[in-house]
Amino acid sequence: MTNQLKLQQLIKLLDLTRLSDNDHAGAMDEWLQQQADAPFSPAAFCVYPQFLGQTRLFIQQQVWPSKLATVVNFPSGDLAADLVVAEVQAALAQGADEIDCVLPYRTLLAGHCAQVKDFLVLVRQSCRDQCLKVIIESGELSTPQQICKATELVIDSGADFVKSSTGKVPIGITNEAARIMLTVIAAAGRPVGFKASGGVRTVAQALELVRMYEEITGQLAKPELMRIGASTLFGEINQLLAATKA
């Protein structure tokens, strides 16, 4: 596969993410307009719930299709289940296509796996037919066994994707965590997506994650089953694609 084809494949996997603390509507509008002239579209825009309406209108004005995603139980993962369900319902009412929900990882670390499973099943039901990505916060899980267990719980709950990180803790995605998650996903009895997020800052790093995904799962990386969450790669990849055409 040529470099240009690899970059085109990669940009279609991106969840272009804007989760800046203390953000405001004016800054969000400026950021969205910076993306307007991009020749290639990301898989999704992932924004805080308060910016869903603004981002939905922007996407509707573009010629290329992108999904609209938001976060719930974010970033701490410790909200009560009924509050998270309310967050999901509000997000869907504002047009969200995809929900990225933080797994209650502290509950998992305390050994209460059944409680985590019940929470995830409830969130799955509240999402109805919309895409649910569950963030396990792999950097806070101290052993490979915990990463494995978290991934298994997400799969067993019926979620569509297992996602690595919020990007709000010191350790985001690592190759070790990705390999564990992908190995569990590959053994699942149904198609399960993988989203790498938290510190994916270079094209080389993103391409390595794609290589790992394809090697371990045996599947071609497509946005239906692989995503990469990043805030800066979209612009960089579009610039590289433009340079290869020059």
Q: Which residue has the tokens 């969200």?
A: 96
Calpha distance 223→149 (Å, rounded): 25
Helix (H, G, I), strand (E, B), or coil: what is residue 8?
Answer: helix
Maximum separation of any 2 CA atoms in the chain, in Å: 56
Can you tell me the distance from the alpha carbon of 229 to that of 211, in angstroms, rounded to the nearest whole number? 16
| Residue 141: half-sphere exposure toward Cβ, Cα within 13 Å | 30
Give the pairing of strands 98-102 and 44-47.
unpaired
Annotated catalytic residues are 100, 163, 195
Fill in the DSSP letter of residue 158.
Answer: T
